Amino acid sequence: MEVTETSLPDVVVLCAPKYADERGFFSETYSRRTFAKSGVLIDFVQDNHSHSAKTGTIRGLHFQIPPFAQDKLVRVVRGAILDVIVDLRHGSPTFGKHESLVLSATDWKQLFVPAGFAHGLCTLEDDTEVIYKVSNYYSAAHDKGVRWDDPAIGIDWPVLPHNAIVSPKDKALPLFAALGHYFNYEGEVNRRKALSA
């Protein structure tokens, strides 16, 4: 398993090997043991699968608050997305900062998003499908979000605002400055060091 750090503490990109031949390919996309060795020791309890018909579809920025906060493992099985995460952890050196990266069915990368981050995406191709594992069940009462186009966050989305396909629910999400105090930063966790100690 190839692991790449990001600029946001505890957020990593993982890439599972693909074994291809004349029939197609095989890939072990998730193994708790393998992921633990790579620094991600999480019990995932639910898989979600989204399909977006059109390029320029934006989903997010979403998160759940405690006690239903979710870690997420995101991958694309068809098409491509610009995946975006925003640090919501008060006291973090990257509080309010975001990072974006392209995930696609071609590159086969997965993004691990810890609890305490908002997550969103924009499709880069028609008929894009995203699968993500989560560490807690969906709870409507704990479902929150922040506006995708908040200028205070300053995400450089690959679609003009008037062309973006956004749900009415996501359009009505609050700005970052209006969010409650849901998460605290507890210091950077080097999962690989902790697990190998």
CATH number among 2.60.120.10, 3.30.300.170, 3.40.50.1390, 1.25.40.10, domain 43-180: 2.60.120.10
pLDDT at site 173: 97
Question: Which pair of structure tokens corresponds to residue 188?
Answer: 């950077």
- Cβ–Cβ < 8 Å for 102, 13: no
Q: What is the b/e burial string over 18-41, where b = at least 16 CB atoms within 10 angstroms of the residue's CB?
A: eeeeeeeeeeeebeeeebeebbbe
Phi, psi of 195 (to 5 degrees): -75, -25
Annotated catalytic residue, options 19, 30, 49, 62: 62
Residues in CB range of 73: below 8 A, 6 or more apart: 14, 30, 40, 42, 44, 110, 111, 112, 113, 132, 133, 134
At residue 197, does pLDDT exceed 60?
no
54-67 residue pLDDT tens: 999 999 999 999 99
pTM over 0.85: yes
**Amino acid type, 163:** N
For the chain, domain boundaries: 43-180
Closest of 5, 4, 30 to residue 17, by C-alpha: 30
At residue 189, does pLDDT exceed 70?
no
137 tagged catalytic: no
pLDDT at site 143: 97
- Secondary structure (DSSP) of 41-79: -----EEEEEEE-STTEEEEEEEE-TTS---EEEEEEES
Lowest mean pLDDT among 145-149, 181-185, 189-193: 189-193
pLDDT at site 80: 98
90-123 residue pLDDT tens: 999 999 999 999 999 999 999 999 999 999 999 9
132 tagged catalytic: yes
At residue 190, does pLDDT exceed 80?
no
pLDDT band of residue 192 (cuts 50, 70, 90) is very low
At residue 167, does pLDDT exceed 80?
yes
Beta-sheet pairing, 57-64 with 143-145: antiparallel
The percentage of residues in the chain with a pLDDT greater than 70, rounded to a whole number, is 95
pLDDT at site 160: 95
Annotated catalytic residue, options 132, 137, 138, 182: 132
- Cβ–Cβ < 8 Å for 128, 80: yes
